[in-house]
Amino acid sequence: MKILKQRWAGIVLTALSLFLTIGVKTVFAACGPKEDGSWMACHWAEQAVFASGIVLSCISVMILLISDEKVRLGLSLAVIPAAAVTALIPGVFSGLCMMTNMHCHTVTRPSVTVISVLIAAAALVDVIIKLRSRKGGSR
């Protein structure tokens, strides 16, 4: 129970980051290739989110495994901007398909946005809790 209390952020962040990384290639992947075999614009957004998901997963696993409290705080802080940037990849940093009723607009983009926001929120809550406990401990 104590481990769960201390490592909840690492568990939640790892689960969400892995879901983002695997999901963007499976359940909420972008549109498939065109008839001529070439890729649509959204494919490159999918690739970028996949790469970003790998980075987030690595950081989350480190939060889970590293025992130094200060290092974990720093890693949690790093997750917040990384997740925010990931949320903006589809549609802002990388273009999607032309019609907004296509799969990349209706499924990929909202899924990436929601999961990234949840990752950033979980990391933010973890940072606040860690900072409060540090403040409480230093009194």
Binding site residues, another protein, CB under 8 A: 31, 34-36, 40-41, 95-102, 105-107, 109-111, 113-114, 117
For another protein, the closer of residues 35 and 68 by Cβ is 35
Q: Which is nearer to another protein, 49 or 96 (CB)?
A: 96
Give the orientation angle of helix 69-88 with respect to helix 42-65, to 10 degrees.
170
Q: Which is nearer to another protein, 6 or 100 (CB)?
A: 100
Rounded to whole angstroms, the Cα distance separating 56 from 124 reads 14
Residue 78 beta carbon to another protein: minimum distance, rounded to whole angstroms = 23
Beta bridge partners of 90: 94
CB of 30 to another protein, least distance (A): 11
Least distance to another protein from the beta carbon of 5, Å? Answer: 9
CA angle (125, 59, 51) in 5-degree steps = 115
- Nearest approach in angstroms of CB 66 to another protein is 25
- Taking CA atoms, 77 is separated from 23, 99, 111, 130, in Å, by 24, 36, 23, 11
Our CB check for another protein shows the closer of 27 and 65 to be 27
Tokens representing 37 are: 């075999």
